Structure 1
Amino acid sequence: MTAALRRSPVFAALCVAALFMVLPFVVVAVNAVKSPAEYARGGPLALPDGLYLDGLTDFWERVDYGQKLLNSVLISGSVAVLAAGLSVLTAYAIGIGRIRGRTWVLAFFVLANVLPQESLVYPVYFLSKQAGLYDTRLSVVIVFTVLQAAFGTYLLSSVLGRFPREIVEAARIDGASTWQVLWRIVVPVSRPTLGVLLVLFFVWTWNEFLLPLVMLISNDNQTVSVALGVLQGQRLMDATMTNAAALLGVLPALVFFLLFQRTLTRGIAVGAVK
């Protein structure tokens, strides 16, 4: 009974925090199915009289949302997989290979994480122009793969730096090559951490706006976040369509997060135990 009483304030605080996190999404969802007249009459907090789906369909057709959704999924999914794979390779060399200057290399990756994206706009724009990749989805995939892999390398290097070297040495005595040690021993052990990185990389890339706005100027190549920003800047949406756009913009990332929530929780829990 005493333990239950002690946990009650924590549970209540978590419920309040969850309410504050969910409430904005609920308000957006409610206003997305209101008519402009209902919104003007009752404001953002009033319940709708019925389901008004014209805002959702108008936004879908106006921005060609299906194509934007496909672009965002392709870019975010590719970045998540490629950045996680690159992080494993570089972290293996730094954490287990113990390359020279390991501290300075890690400091370089930390610096890459704290650089503002505004400082990268012109170099990335210039290099993509020179390479003939400007206004292609591949250019955005390459840029974000490198940026996300910087964080992944830093995180995995700290994990692999504590990897038992006896296991690696025993595998090498048994005749395992460097690649076999990596794929058959290190990667399976690091799978929970890799699952966390995959989820984070996908969500982070999905929410990116500045670099895709600069790099993807064609309508057929734009992502969901860029389409939302461009349409907002043109002032072509009323309040109902604005909420519908916000709902369609965040819903795919939310669904992805919920689908892989167990992977994220398990990876964090395993990392905490280690």
Structure 2
Amino acid sequence: MTATTAPARPSTPAKIAPTRRHRNGKRPRTITDWVLLVAAVVVAVLIAFPFILILINSFKSPQDYAATGPLQLPTQLYFDGIVRFWERVDFPQKLWNSIFISGVVSVLAVLVSVLNAFAIGIGRVRARTSIIVLFLLANLLPQEALLYPLYYMFKQVGLYDNVWSVIIIFTVIQSAFGTYLLSSVFGTFPKEVLEAAALDGAGRWKTLWRVIVPISRPTLSVLLIFFFIWTWNEFLIPLTFLVSNDNQTVPVAISVLQGDRLMDVTTTSASALLGLIPTLVFFLIFQRTLTRGITAGAVK
């Protein structure tokens, strides 16, 4: 009589210790997370401090500023500084000049950048690398080196002290950067998409506006926003080429009045606040577009 042996019991795999998580399913914060959070808060406070200082002192009277200093809250709201700056520089006219110049430059610069980048990145023109390096060097050239030749040129053609002189200059400057950026983006554009468009009978012009531009819209939106803000904040070239009071932009008007002996600290803060508000509103309006464009990544 033979004894029957029981089948071997399969060994159970070792249990893996579950990752420690909170009740909501998120992992607990580590010391590194808290250090990074504190550092981010400190950097944010340092960045916001000048704007808070401008906001506080814009609503102070000169007597209140002299008595309490720049860091104390105003004892009562004082709007004469804002009103005085608004009336002295004709702020609506300066605001319109800045909006018009920045808006036209941003649209034209993006359009020129798209056309140049399409020819370089997809059209594969000869000496493509040399042309891209040339555009890169154009971005590295300081504006001070351009003042005299541009001044002489626009004097000859009769565009000196005209907003279109500044528009032409900044369109060329901004499109140089846009061409350099978009050339690398269009250079990695999927060939399958281009071949499919060609099989459907689309020519180069239709491929550009019906295929490439819609897919690249997040990148173009970011360029448009940056070009607007960069042009708005430009100072040296508008100061040189827009000498008439009616043609000046907001940054030029602020800087010119800061040298006026009638300007006090509170009026100067009010002028800085009025110059900051339009760009802040523009950024808040297009914040979602900017975020989508940055997180979109490369063209897929």
Tell me how far 1:269 sits from its aligned partner: 0.8
Q: Greater share of helix residues, 1 or 2?
A: 1
Alignment of 1:196-211 (within 5 A): 196-211=222-237
Q: Give the structure, 1 or 2, with the largest relative contact order (CA under 8 Å, sep 6 or more).
A: 1
What is the TM-score normalised by the length of structure 2?
0.88
Deviations 1:90-149 (A, max 9, x none): 001111111100111001110110111000111111111111111111111111001000
- Is the contact made by 2:189 and 2:299 (CA closer than 8 Å) also made in structure 1? no
Corresponding residue to 1:116 among 121, 127, 142: 142
Q: Structure 1: which amino acid aligns with 2:196?
A: A
Cα distance in 2 for residues equivalent to 1:205 and 1:235: 29
2:38 is aligned with 1:32 = no
Tell me how far 1:176 sits from its aligned partner: 0.3
Q: Structure 2: which amino acid aligns with 1:265?
A: T
Alignment of 1:130-169 (within 5 A): 130-169=156-195
Deviations 1:207-246 (A, max 9, x none): 0001001110111000001111111123331010010011
Partner of 1:4: 29
2:188 is aligned with 1:187 = no
Cα distance in 2 for residues equivalent to 1:62 and 1:234: 11
Cα distance in 2 for residues equivalent to 1:235 and 1:196: 41
Larger radius of gyration between Structure 1 and Structure 2: 2
Any unmatched runs of 5+ in structure 1? none
What is the TM-score normalised by the length of structure 1?
0.97
The root-mean-square deviation of aligned C-alpha atoms, in Å, is 1.3
- Is the contact made by 2:188 and 2:299 (CA closer than 8 Å) also made in structure 1? no
- Is the contact made by 2:174 and 2:227 (CA closer than 8 Å) also made in structure 1? yes
Tell me how far 1:23 sits from its aligned partner: 1.4
Question: Structure 1 runs of 4+ off > 6 angstroms?
Answer: none
Tell me how far 1:78 sits from its aligned partner: 0.6
Cα distance in 2 for residues equivalent to 1:200 and 1:238: 33
State the aligned residue count: 274
Any unmatched runs of 5+ in structure 2? 1-20, 22-26
Q: Structure 2: which amino acid aligns with 1:95?
A: G
Helix, strand or coil: the match of 1:46? Answer: coil
Partner of 1:74: 100
Partner of 1:241: 267
Alignment of 1:101-112 (within 5 A): 101-112=127-138
Tell me how far 1:8 sits from its aligned partner: 2.6
Deviations 1:149-169 (A, max 9, x none): 000111111111100112112
Cα distance in 1 for residues equivalent to 2:95 and 2:167: 15
Cα distance in 1 for residues equivalent to 2:165 and 2:299: 38
2:288 is aligned with 1:259 = no
Helix, strand or coil: the match of 1:48? Answer: coil
Q: Structure 2: which amino acid aligns with 1:4?
A: R
Tell me how far 1:202 sits from its aligned partner: 0.5
Cα distance in 1 for residues equivalent to 2:211 and 2:250: 39
Tell me how far 1:173 sits from its aligned partner: 2.1
Helix, strand or coil: the match of 1:4? Answer: coil
